[in-house]
């Protein structure tokens, strides 16, 4: 009986110590996305403009000391752009179409937490393409890469009651389009965009 009680106390102690070292949170917000491309590949008859979307998911803050945290996230997140194409084959024709991408995003961020609740963050992001929309007469997924990689940097505020707000800029490291399938232009383009999120951590909000 003593061994059982000792084991239970030890388990409770380990659990209590571990619980003080991380925060579990949920988040959701708005994405403002666009494409960027190199000037040498840019098609003068094609231009990109911003597209508004959304993101939602969960994250964990693993605390390292008093000011640092490592924060992996799992998000459903939209990306893409509005594409304007100008053709002059039979007179001038302008078409505008939304190129909508959907990703399962996995950022892993390093955060520096200032005294008072403000923080800055940066880190890599892997995005798995789960798009189901179409662009003109083609499936988006068939003309884009199955995954792409990005880097993010941002800042935010985390209140003592667990509510917070954050803003982040993400820039693509790898290209989005698959040139073996794409037919609407020859440009290589990458994702870029801003995220503005509200979030809430469920415990350890005094940290």
Note whether residue 48 is domain-resident: yes
Note whether residue 15 is domain-resident: no
Alpha carbon distance 182, 138 (integer Å): 9
Query: What pLDDT does residue 205 have?
Result: 76
Note whether residue 115 is domain-resident: yes
Domain that holds residue 171: 23-201
Terminal C-alpha separation, the chain = 37
Q: Would the pLDDT of 66 be above 90?
A: no
Number of independent structural domains in the chain: 1
Alpha carbon distance 49, 143 (integer Å): 20
Average pLDDT of every residue of the chain: 84
- pLDDT tens per residue across span 17-63: 445 588 999 999 999 999 998 654 455 577 889 999 999 999 999 99
Note whether residue 9 is domain-resident: no
Query: What pLDDT does residue 96 have?
Result: 80
Percent of the chain whose predicted confidence (pLDDT) is above 70:
77
More confident residue, 123 or 44: 123
What's the pLDDT band for 199 if we cut at 50, 70, 90? very high
Note whether residue 10 is domain-resident: no
Query: What pLDDT does residue 5 have?
Result: 47
Residues in a beta bridge with 64: 68
Note whether residue 103 is domain-resident: yes
Alpha carbon distance 192, 207 (integer Å): 32
What CATH number is given to the structural domain containing 35? 2.40.160.20
Note whether residue 14 is domain-resident: no
Q: Would the pLDDT of 186 be above 80?
A: no
Section 185-206 average pLDDT: 86
Q: Would the pLDDT of 185 be above 80?
A: no
Note whether residue 7 is domain-resident: no
């Amino acid at each position: 009986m003593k061994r059982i009680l000792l084991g239970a106390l030890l388990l409770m102690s380990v659990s209590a110590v571990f619980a003080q070292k991380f925060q579990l949170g949920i988040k959701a917000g708005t994405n403002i996305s666009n494409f960027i491309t190199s000037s040498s590949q840019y098609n003068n008859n094609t231009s990109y403009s911003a597209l508004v979307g959304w993101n939602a998911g969960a994250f964990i803050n693993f605390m390292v000391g008093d000011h640092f945290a490592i924060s992996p996230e799992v998000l459903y997140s939209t990306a893409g752009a509005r594409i304007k194409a100008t053709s002059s084959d039979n007179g001038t024709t302008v078409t505008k179409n939304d190129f909508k991408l959907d990703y399962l995003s996995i950022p892993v961020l390093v955060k520096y937490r200032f005294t008072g609740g403000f923080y800055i963050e940066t880190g890599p992001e892997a995005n798995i393409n789960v798009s189901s929309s179409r662009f003109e007469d083609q499936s988006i997924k068939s003309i884009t890469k199955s995954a792409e990689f990005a880097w993010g940097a941002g800042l935010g505020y985390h209140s003592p009651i667990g509510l917070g707000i954050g803003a982040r800029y993400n820039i693509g490291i790898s290209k989005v389009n698959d040139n073996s399938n794409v037919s609407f232009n020859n440009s290589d383009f990458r994702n870029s965009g801003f995220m503005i999120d509200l979030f809430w951590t469920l415990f350890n909000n005094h940290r």
